Amino acid sequence: MERRRTRVGVSALAVAAFIGGWALASRGSDPTLLPGPAQTVRAAHELWQDGTLLPAIGISLRRIALGWILGCAIAVPLGLIAGISPVGRSVIDPFIHFFRFIPAIALTSLFILWFGIGESSKVYLVAYAAGFIVTVNTAAGAAAVPADKLSAARCVGASRIATLTTVTIPATVPHIFTGMRLALANAFLVIVAAEALATQSGLGYLIWNSRIYFRTDQIFVGILFLGALGFVADRLWKLVGRTLLRRFMFTAGTY
């Protein structure tokens, strides 16, 4: 407990030092180039008061959550197939290792053409960005299950399905968890690109639209809220790993 308090204290001091350095750097600077913390707080209050900020946060979080869940739901089965089946790996690998190097931002215009300017294009773009890293991590985890565990399950008469559900999947959960955590970061990264084009809502749109009016303080508000929301989402996912998935998380010290 004492160690945890020390870590929290050090983190708080680091954040305070960052804010202090930011305030010093912004003194004497053009506020359209580098607004200070106080100006950014005022801009956040202004956006909150006029009813812009809260809906933008809610819309972006919904798109991120839906895209992340959809991408993971598709990626985990694909990763398991690639990890446990040589034939499946041969079929899936070329596509996974080709498309995962194509950034989601490069496909933004295509997704809008294919799926329209509504919610679908944004959700699918986030799912695309999130899916590949989960697939790769899941496949690596499934392929790394010790052969003696699989042999032991077969020796006691376990079928392939039983071996998959009682040995392979539980042993792969830490890798799936890590892949989903990394994919969550990708989802936050791509939402700005997804909302910058052909939409008039969300934090990405707020950032993109504010540049037109040289409201750098509002750009800072959008950026800071994206970072803060991502931080909270990451902590919540770690909490899931420590509680609901604790019995599977045999690898210690998740950062």
72 with 183: CB under 8 angstroms?
A: yes
The pTM for the full model equals 0.86
Q: Convert the pLDDT of each residue in 15-74 to its tens digit.
A: 888 888 888 888 877 777 888 888 989 999 998 998 889 999 999 999 999 999 999 999
The answer to which of 107-121, 145-159, 164-178, 231-245 has the lowest mean pLDDT is 145-159
Task: Give how far Cα 168 sits from Cα of 151, 160, 179, 180, Å.
Answer: 12, 10, 16, 18
What confidence score (pLDDT) does residue 228 get?
93
Q: Convert the pLDDT of each residue in 195-211 to its tens digit.
A: 877 677 888 889 888 88
Task: Give how far Cα 58 sits from Cα of 30, 61, 86, 206, 229, Å.
Answer: 32, 5, 43, 13, 11
Inter-axis angle of helices 108-115 and 119-143, nearest 10: 120
Rounded Cα distance between 32 and 38, Å, is 14
Is residue 224's pLDDT more than 90? yes
What confidence score (pLDDT) does residue 252 get?
40
What confidence score (pLDDT) does residue 70 get?
95
Q: What is the DSSP string of 1-49?
A: -HHHHHHHHHHHHHHHHHHHHHHHHHTTS-TTTS--HHHHHHHHHHHHH
Is residue 76's pLDDT more than 90? yes
Domain locations in the chain as residue ranges: 1-30, 34-242
Q: Provide the sign of the torsion angle of the four alpha carbons 238, 181, 63, 225, taken in this order.
A: positive
Is residue 184's pLDDT more than 50? yes
Rounded Cα distance between 42 and 55, Å, is 18
Percent of the chain with pLDDT over 90: 31
- So what CATH class is 34-242? mainly alpha
Q: Convert the pLDDT of each residue in 90-131 to its tens digit.
A: 898 888 889 888 888 888 888 888 888 888 888 999 999 999
What confidence score (pLDDT) does residue 211 get?
83
